Amino acid sequence: MKIEKIKGFRDHYPEDMEVRNYFFKKITNAAENFGYQLIDFPSLEPLDLYRLKSGTELVSQTFSFTDKGGREVTMIPEATPSTVRLLAARKDLPRPVRWYSFPKVWRYEEPQEGRFREHYQFNADMFGLDSEESDAEIVGLASNILDYLGLSGIYEININDRFLMEYILKDLGIENIPDAFSIIDKYKKIDRNSFVEAFKTVGAEGDEIKKILSLLNEKVDTGNLERKVKKVVKNYEEIKPRIERIKKTFDLIGLYTESPINYDFSIVRGLSYYTGMVFEAFDVKGELRAILGGGRYDDLSKLFTTDRIPAVGFAIGDAVIELLLKRQNLWMKRNIKKSYYICNLSSVDEDYIIKIASRIRSLNKIAIVDMTHRKISSQMKSASGFDFAIIIGEREFEENTLTVKNMKTSQQSIMGYDDFLLQLRGDD
């Protein structure tokens, strides 16, 4: 019987993981430079954690089941609820709290380019502040990560505000806000007629739908935001303070990145717990799904505590970012550590060879000892992918020396053991 991997899941061989880990480390390094600290949590959580706040669409996509104790549980489809659960359990933490995580998550979605049923997801969250500065920092971190990966100028950030959108919808007489947001979230995925018919189901009439469409049909800068909102609401002065907050947030984000920042009324994000700013990043050519997304979710903490803990964060899935990096010819092997392949031609005691390999490794470099006892030509072929080949035979063993070949330049020299160690340390 042939057993294959399950649809929507991926295998990662060493050559894949080497490149993947390089970029994962760059992402986490950028987060740590902003003062974010690593956390982790279980891969299995109670289904109610998502049923209560994430929305029915997400719950329908979970890999959930009833365990042997009769509990409804699920493989985590996202990280935010678990992160908030950890935060609520620790009242001793000085705020603001800056955390990041990098778990695997699972969603039963239809696999397609840039989307799998299992993927790695980087998450960054700040807790304890509700301000323009904290909103700008989280978007700034997201853009800094993309710039750090070499994508500067390749992406744009589109931002909206759920608080503002809810005000506009209610001002237009629409009370079923969750369903209205769900329809707006599909604006770019369905045709205009389908959108209009769907919006009628939340009680909108022709004039209201026209006003909504006038907001959704183009991205604007903050200079035009005020003009757009004035055309659709009855009392602009009531919402003006929110507009001013958005403008200030945009100004601060501009200090973090030179990439385009747009105001886009169609960005509402699919999860129901967002309460304020929401944002997504896309490639400027518009060829791929969202690279990352996030926003403010100040009420999610009430699932676990009576305290309202302001929160803002975002997530990056590995699938789309990998596609974009490959299209930019950036997804390639990087030799971060120097590597040494030790060709063993000696028939005597192997203590000397193992001692050399151990000293190389102690200096945080890669060392592999050939254990096959093949001819030198075969061993050197195996060494071709390394930075250096070290050849040790009877002569080297007797004279306490090494023959070292640079596999990039083909230069070869005989070195004493102590001289070799000095060179190793000098490479750091």
Contacts of 25 (CB under 8 A, 6+ apart): none
Q: What is the pLDDT along the chain (428 residues), one digit of tens a residue?
A: 888 899 999 999 998 999 999 999 999 999 999 999 999 999 999 999 888 766 677 889 999 999 999 999 999 999 999 999 999 999 899 999 999 999 999 999 999 888 999 999 999 999 999 999 999 999 999 999 999 999 999 999 999 999 999 999 999 999 899 899 999 999 988 999 999 999 899 888 888 999 999 999 989 988 899 999 999 999 999 999 999 999 999 999 999 999 999 999 999 997 788 999 999 999 999 999 999 999 999 998 988 888 899 999 999 999 999 999 999 999 987 767 899 999 998 776 678 889 999 999 999 999 999 998 899 999 999 999 899 999 998 888 889 899 999 999 999 999 999 999 888 887 65
DSSP string covering 189-221, please?
TS-HHHHHHHHHTTT--HHHHHHHHHHHT--B-
CA distances from 428 to 336, 406, 423 (A): 12, 17, 9
Cis peptide leading into residue 96 (ω within 30°):
yes
pLDDT at 396: 87
Sign, CA torsion 118/17/283/34: positive
Beta-strand relationship, 261-263 and 155-161: parallel
Question: What own/partner pairs with CB < 8 Å and gap ≥ 24 does 17-24 have?
Answer: 18/333, 19/331, 19/332, 19/333, 19/334, 20/318, 20/322, 22/333, 22/334, 22/336, 23/149, 23/321, 23/322, 23/325, 23/331, 24/102, 24/120, 24/122, 24/318
Contact (CB, 8 A) for 315 and 328: no
CA atoms of 4 and 108, how far apart (whole Å): 18
Q: What is the DSSP letter of 417?
A: H
Identity at 224, one-letter amino acid code: N
Q: For residue 104, what is the enclosing H or E element?
A: strand 104-106
Identity at 116, one-letter amino acid code: F
CA atoms of 139 and 364, how far apart (whole Å): 35
Predicted model pTM: 0.89
- Retrieve residue 16's tokens: 């894949």
Largest CA distance in the chain: 93
